[in-house]
Amino acid sequence: MKLQNKNKRKLSPVQILAIGFAIVILIGAILLSLPIASKNGINTPFIDCIFTSTSAVCVTGLTTLNTAEHWTYFGKTVIICLIQIGGLGFMSFATLLALILGKRITLKERLVMQEAMNSFSLQGLVKLAKYILIFTFSVEGAGALLMSTKFVPEYGFLKGLYFSIFHSISAFCNAGFDLTGNSLVPYFNNSVIILTIAALVIIGGLGFSVWAEIYNYKGIKKLSLHAKLVISATIVLILVGWILMFLFEVNNPGTIKDFSIKDKLLSSFFASVTPRTAGFNSISTADMTPAGKGLTILLMFIGGSPGSTAGGIKTATAGLLLMTVISVIKGREDTEIFKRTLSKELVYRAFVITTIAFGVVVTGSMILSVTEPGASLEHIIYETTSAFATVGLTLGFTPKLSFIGKIVIALTMYIGRVGPLTLILALANKKKGSSIKYPEGKILVG
């Protein structure tokens, strides 16, 4: 009996993942609440510390306090460390620490890593973790080096270098935190800053397993189905988003109407990339057209790719659902992508993830519509979608949130980062599948 109770108390990999993120958030909040973390030298209200820490660990970028003006370099460094841990996953850092100490990676730890990295199997996970860390620091270093050519002349060597490293990590991890106080609006016409940030966002949002395949590229036929779907979906979303954003905003005096053609193209491209899910903006999001805001919400909801630093329901999920619709319209029994048939289990999983995600956004929006009586529905849906998809874009609504509103958005960010399905599996008790099969029934649909 004692042995059975002991086994029951063992945490599953998804539970360890969910609890691990919560612990990192709490530690970050405690550090940010210290007087040394704020410029005024007094303790920051703990709800704002929790909110900021959650936003950093969940690589979102929504802030109730101005990052540039409120936090000291200690506070900013805590934030960027939380972003790095949250972007790569605490298990990657735990693996790095274990490797440094010469500790053996146990089967239990490998199972948690598999869940955290969205890997198909346990084989080669430690090697993948090493690759992720080396790849991440290399890309972030290159990004910081490029941006330092602009930030160092403007802010001086030390401050410019810090700005470069901070924004490079924030961009690669799809976080969206900035030190300018107004995102990248002051640099809307700076091609080096805008294109470097955009490249880091895209690279971080593709997924580490996809980049591993690209690195070992041996022809398009050798790429896995997952890589083909992710790359295709990413290219389509960026190009379609770019064209539509340009068309929606080209005559808008509040955004890009008065820009040169080069700056119009640059800004509309950036506005297509960052909702997936970085949170930087080079034009005023509040002044965008309703169509531009609607497109941004859609791009935020879809997000980046599985196993990446991005959030949202993921490109693979959206692509799978779209191809399922197309297959049904064509009268096909199975979902087909690139001449491959996908199992119904994958389709069900994609449907469940999307449904839960939609439910989280709707529920959060309904609660905020009660707790934030002065806010418009547009602002609320935009904010909630941004929080769930861990984007960080806002229409200026975040600093105005009430105490309960901050808790709701913080929980939404947490659910979005851990993953709605992962969180439900962590909270639910696993039950054995029933062997009973009921008679088939029919209902009218559509």
Distance CA 188, CA 183 (A): 10
**What pLDDT, in 10s, does the model give residues 165-195?**
999 999 999 898 999 988 999 999 999 999 9
Distance CA 426, CA 443 (A): 33
Token digits of residue 363: 């529920």
Q: How confident is the model at residue 307 (pLDDT cuts 50, 70, 90)?
A: confident
Q: Is the dihedral of CA 144, 150, 156, 157 positive or negative?
A: positive
Q: How far apart are CA 163 and CA 178, in angstroms?
A: 9
314 closest CA partner among 298, 329, 301: 301
Highest mean pLDDT among 120-134, 211-225, 291-305, 408-422: 291-305
Burial of 145 (0-12, 13-18, 19+ CB in 10 A): middle
**Taking 90 as the threshold, does the pLDDT of residue 369 lie above it?**
yes
**In angstroms, what is the C-alpha Rg of the chain?**
22
Give percent of the chain with pLDDT exceeding 90. 55
- pLDDT given at position 292: 96
Mean pLDDT, range 364-369, rounded to an integer: 96
Residue with tokens 């949170």: 279
Which has the higher per-residue pLDDT, 201 or 421?
201
Two structure tokens written together for 143: 């990004």
Task: Tell me the mean pLDDT in the region 201-215.
Answer: 84
CA-CA-CA-CA torsion sign (436, 439, 444, 446): positive
Distances (CA, A) of 183 to 150, 167, 305: 16, 10, 24
pLDDT of residue 405: 94
Does position 310 have pLDDT exceeding 80, yes or no?
yes
Note the pLDDT tens digit of each residue in 75-131. 999 999 999 988 876 555 555 555 555 566 565 555 555 555 555 555 556 666 777
Supply the pTM of this predicted model.
Answer: 0.86
Work out the pLDDT band at 210, boundaries 50, 70, 90: confident
Please give the pLDDT value at position 337.
87
Domain ranges of the chain: 11-425
- CA dist 70 and 64 (Å) reads 10
Tell whether the model's pLDDT for residue 3 goes beyond 60: no
Computed over every residue of the chain, the mean pLDDT equals: 85
Length of the chain: 446
Q: How far apart are CA 130 and CA 142, in angstroms?
A: 18
